[in-house]
Amino acid sequence: MEFHQLTYFLAAAQTQNFRKAAELCLVAQSALSRQIAALEDELEVALFTRNKKRIALTPEGQEFALYVRNAMEQLQEGQQWLTELQAGQRGTIRIGCIESLATALLPALFASFHQHYPHVRLKVRVNHTDELITLVEQGEVELGLILDPQLQSELLIVKELFRQPLHLLVSAQHPLAQMQTSEVTLEHITTEPLLLLDETSRMGQITRRIFAQRGLPVRPLIEIESVEGLKEMVRQGIGVTLTLPALIRPSQLGNDLALLPITGLTEEFIFALVYRRVGSISRAAREFSREVLGTKMLGTKAMDHFRRTI
């Protein structure tokens, strides 16, 4: 049983005439008739009754036609799915993301991407930067959204998205947030109750490194693994922390939290997209990376917020 035989059969079933069916299929009538006869021989059943002028489906032919139509429709859907998959319009993107970006940045990125590729799915692994780099190297995720990529790997390509300096995150009711002209220094911050992410996170590592480079003590009141837990403690006025603007959702600023620039702290930290240099990633992942790196996505209001210094 071959595909063209089924095509000829359906054309004959539709037209009830071998000549018209042959015209539809762009073949000679004799060739069409032979192929349908061969199909009947293979199935060991008559699909048509024949007379000099017309043909008609037998009861068995009518039943078989239902199955063939369904099969053809399924096949066409499958071909369309493969075409869309090759074009990056379908599939599943396996992405790794640090926790802060998973809540503050990734939703806006994927929402914009989803408008253009509504059938692409996203599977997200949330972890620390170092672990995400390993996952990308091992091929367990295709793309990684990371912070402060400090790596020397021949396996990976790192594309910078944007960079930002550290800010002080305080409760919106904190005295420093009420003094618009006040200058905040690292020395001043050491007098505040300090809340930090634990040392496995890149943000926790950056904060400790900044203080150590200036010979300032780091005695955190609280160390915690949860980014959202840390921000909630700051919101409740338990203490302050150092962070980057891109790690804070815009909706959290104003009534709940405030970001303050730190005087004399000019170093900027890189947010990057990382993927494997060797081996293939899915077409959908390539399209997503182009959207992330391209001006279309970087020009959105969400990205404008994350790229600028607050």
276-286 per-position pLDDT tens digit:
876 667 888 88
Q: Per residue in 44-100, pLDDT tens?
A: 999 999 887 789 999 999 999 999 988 887 776 666 556 555 655 668 899 999 988
Domain 167-266, CATH class in plain words: alpha beta
Domain formed by 92-161+271-307, architecture: 3-Layer(aba) Sandwich (3.40)
Fold type of domain 3-86: Arc Repressor Mutant, subunit A (1.10.10)
Domain ranges of the chain: 3-86, 92-161+271-307, 167-266
% of the chain surpassing 90 pLDDT: 43
CA 224 to mean position of chain CA atoms: 28
The per-residue pLDDT for 170 is 94
% of the chain surpassing 70 pLDDT: 87
Start-to-end C-alpha separation, the chain: 68
Instruction: Identify the band that residue 305 occupies on the pLDDT scale cut at 50, 70 and 90.
Output: very low
Q: What is the mean pLDDT of the chain?
A: 85
The per-residue pLDDT for 239 is 95
Q: For residue 273, what are its two tokens?
A: 């997209």
* Contact present, 108 and 155 (Cβ < 8 Å): no
Highest-confidence segment of 77-91, 152-166, 188-202: 188-202
The per-residue pLDDT for 80 is 59
* Contact present, 73 and 58 (Cβ < 8 Å): no
Which residues make beta-bridge pairs with 270? 163
92-161+271-307 against 167-266: fold identical: yes
Q: Cα dist. 245→113, 163, 169, 182 in Å?
A: 22, 10, 9, 19
CA 18 to mean position of chain CA atoms: 51
